[in-house]
Amino acid sequence: MGRRSGANRDCFLLNPAAKSALHMTMFRFLGVLLGIAIRTGSPLSLNLAEPVWKQLAGMNLTIADLSEVDKDFIPGLMYIRDNEATAEEFEGMTLPLHSP
């Protein structure tokens, strides 16, 4: 389904699967860039989604934060959270696209 709906769908997210040495170097550079911007008081125009800023500040994310990025994902996530099923049942499930 992708990021078709949500307030921050025009913003960038950090990829948690980006763990290679190159990615770590890139993340370190971003951190240095942010640090320089903060220390010098120079605004840095980064179009990062609100949940990314919360994570950078060390804050915990909530379901509402996920909804800001992709609200269409929430009904399926809630369905999985609220239903205890065996592996076989889970494989055979069709997840609802919208909340009832």
Q: What are phi and psi of 88, to 5 degrees?
A: -65, -45
The per-residue pLDDT for 94 is 65
Q: If you write DSSP's letter for every residue of the chain in order, what string do you get?
A: --S-SSTTTTSB---TT--SHHHHHHHHHHHHHHHHHHHHT------B-HHHHHHHTTPPP-HHHHHHH-GGGHHHHHHHHH----HHHHHH----SS--
pLDDT given for residue 5 in this prediction: 58
pLDDT of residue 45: 87
* pLDDT tens sequence across 35-91: 999 999 998 888 888 888 888 888 998 888 888 777 777 787 787 778 776 777 767
Residue 8 has pLDDT above 90, yes or no: no
Q: Which pLDDT score is estimated for 36?
A: 95
Q: What span, in angstroms and rounded, lies between the C-alpha atoms of 35 and 59? A: 18
